[in-house]
């Protein structure tokens, strides 16, 4: 396969075929760098050297009656994960302040559970209103299944984006979860789109799916015209039903990222959970394909220390994409200037 010809066609607005997608996933090791370089052309065309940093807060942990087999917060998992109800408004605001400090573009408020209760929705919308007044952050909420009315309430509160992952291909969904369906998930995403909020939806790879099923997932996300696509690599957390499933290699993870980029060339492709665990020393190569990462910890697993991620960005020459108004707010709060990236500010953010 001539990877640069493929990326040239993508840049001309043509879609890659299923057969080509499968070839991307099966890239021979000696051609991987050439494939990454081809994807970097696409990434650079749409996103330049900018990288979006996203910071998560696990605003409600555990206590979930669903049976998603990859999730440490599920009722079927025996993980001893911390359990707590929705965090207070003060904690949500402090998370936003820390997100600003580490140059996060988007602050992601995530709660466990099938769907938010009325009390949770009200508390989140109130906190979001306050965060939007105080900080120039984009807000993404991941609250589970949502209907049109709930999406509208989140939009009216100032939420910019809603995340609801497809996670895996339609034909495999029943193997990883029995308490809700793939269709439940697509219906929530449709509600998000009807509500005029930016959509965020991605997947988890490394759960035993075939390459064909990865292609199905990537094409589903393309067909739904998702704005922001997080690519998670399964962390087989002990105590979850998928514990012990560990076969991804760093090279395979990079090939998967390349596929997401070539199928969704202009979209935000985020290296999400499992970045450190699976890409290991090849993490910097992922930045030449993806244009977005999480900074700090994930929901129930530790991420890289922000200091190390900032160093990686500095070394590779990628620059955090700051939300409009960041500079004025950073002066107000006496945060360090945009350039160069401050390691000190990143280190402090760890104390949460």
Binding of ligand SF4 by 73 (CB under 6 A): yes
**DSSP string of 136-195, one letter each residue:** --EEEEE-SS--HHHHHHHHHHT--EEE---BS-GGGHHHH-SSS-HHHHHHHHHHHHHT
- Identify the burial level of 129 via C-beta atoms within 10 angstroms of its C-beta, where 0-12 means exposed, 13-18 middle and 19 or more buried: middle
Distance CA 109, CA 57 (A): 5
Distance CA 108, CA 225 (A): 20
For residue 212, what are its two tokens? Answer: 């064909």
Indicate which single residue of 112, 198, 264, 292 sits in contact with ligand SF4 (rule: CB under 6 A).
112
- Identify the burial level of 115 via C-beta atoms within 10 angstroms of its C-beta, where 0-12 means exposed, 13-18 middle and 19 or more buried: middle
Choose one: 67-75, 120-128, 149-157, 341-349; the region binding ligand SF4 (CB under 6 A): 67-75
**SS3 state of residue 3:** helix
Residues 242-261 that bind ligand SF4 (CB under 6 A): none
Choose one: 68-76, 263-271, 304-312, 326-334; the region binding ligand SF4 (CB under 6 A): 68-76
Distance CA 59, CA 142 (A): 10
Binding of ligand SF4 by 120 (CB under 6 A): no
Question: Which residue, 301 or 347, has its beta carbon nearer to ligand SF4?
Answer: 301
For residue 15, what are its two tokens? Answer: 């879609």
Q: How far is the CB of 81 from ligand SF4 (least distance, A)?
A: 10
Residue of 326, 290, 208 whose CA lies nearest to 44? 290
Indicate which single residue of 51, 66, 116, 268 sits in contact with ligand SF4 (rule: CB under 6 A).
66
Binding of ligand SF4 by 55 (CB under 6 A): no
| Number of residues engaging ligand SF4 in binding (CB under 6 A) | 10
Question: Which residue, 63 or 305, has its beta carbon nearer to ligand SF4?
Answer: 63
Indicate which single residue of 74, 199, 201, 330 sits in contact with ligand SF4 (rule: CB under 6 A).
74
Q: Are 160 and 197 in contact (CB under 8 A)?
A: yes
Question: Which residue, 68 or 226, has its beta carbon nearer to ligand SF4?
Answer: 68
Question: Which residue, 112 or 292, has its beta carbon nearer to ligand SF4?
Answer: 112
Distance CA 168, CA 318 (A): 30
Binding of ligand SF4 by 71 (CB under 6 A): yes
Question: Which residue, 54 or 345, has its beta carbon nearer to ligand SF4?
Answer: 54
Q: How far is the CB of 279 from ligand SF4 (least distance, A)?
A: 22
Question: Which residue, 113 or 265, has its beta carbon nearer to ligand SF4?
Answer: 113
Residues 144-203 that bind ligand SF4 (CB under 6 A): 144
Binding of ligand SF4 by 291 (CB under 6 A): no
Catalog residues that contact ligand SF4 under the rule CB under 6 A: 64, 66, 68, 71, 73-74, 112-114, 144
């Amino acid at each position: 396969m001539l990877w640069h010809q493929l990326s040239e066609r993508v840049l001309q607005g043509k879609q890659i075929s299923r057969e080509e997608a499968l070839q991307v996933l099966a890239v021979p090791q000696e051609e991987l760098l050439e494939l990454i370089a081809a994807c970097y052309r696409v990434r650079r065309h749409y996103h330049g050297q900018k990288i979006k940093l996203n910071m998560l807060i696990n605003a409600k942990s555990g206590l979930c009656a669903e049976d998603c087999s990859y999730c440490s917060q599920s009722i079927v998992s025996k993980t001893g994960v911390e359990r707590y109800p929705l965090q207070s408004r003060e904690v949500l605001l402090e998370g936003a302040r820390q997100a600003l400090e580490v140059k996060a573009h988007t602050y992601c408020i995530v709660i466990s559970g099938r769907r938010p209760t009325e009390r949770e929705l009200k508390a989140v919308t109130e906190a979001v209103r306050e965060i939007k007044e105080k900080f120039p952050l984009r807000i993404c909420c991941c609250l589970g299944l949502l209907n049109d009315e709930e999406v509208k309430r989140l939009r009216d509160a100032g939420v910019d984006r809603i995340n609801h992952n497809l996670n895996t291909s339609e034909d495999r969904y029943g193997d990883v979860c029995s308490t809700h369906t793939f269709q439940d998930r697509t219906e929530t995403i449709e509600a998000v789109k009807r509500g005029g909020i930016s959509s965020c939806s991605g997947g988890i790879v490394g759960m035993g799916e075939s390459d064909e099923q990865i292609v199905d997932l990537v094409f589903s996300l393309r067909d739904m015209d998702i704005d922001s696509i997080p690519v998670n690599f399964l962390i087989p957390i002990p105590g979850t039903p998928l514990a012990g499933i560990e076969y991804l290699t760093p090279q395979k993870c990079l090939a998967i990222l390349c596929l997401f980029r070539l199928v969704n060339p202009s979209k935000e492709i985020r290296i999400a959970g499992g970045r450190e665990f699976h890409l290991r020393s090849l993490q910097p190569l992922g930045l030449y394909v993806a244009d977005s990462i999480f900074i700090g910890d994930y929901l129930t697993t530790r991420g890289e220390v922000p200091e190390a991620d900032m160093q990686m960005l500095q070394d590779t020459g990628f620059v955090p994409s700051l939300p409009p108004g960041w500079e004025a707010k950073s002066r107000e709060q006496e945060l360090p200037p945009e350039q160069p990236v401050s390691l000190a500010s990143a280190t402090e953010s760890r104390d949460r």
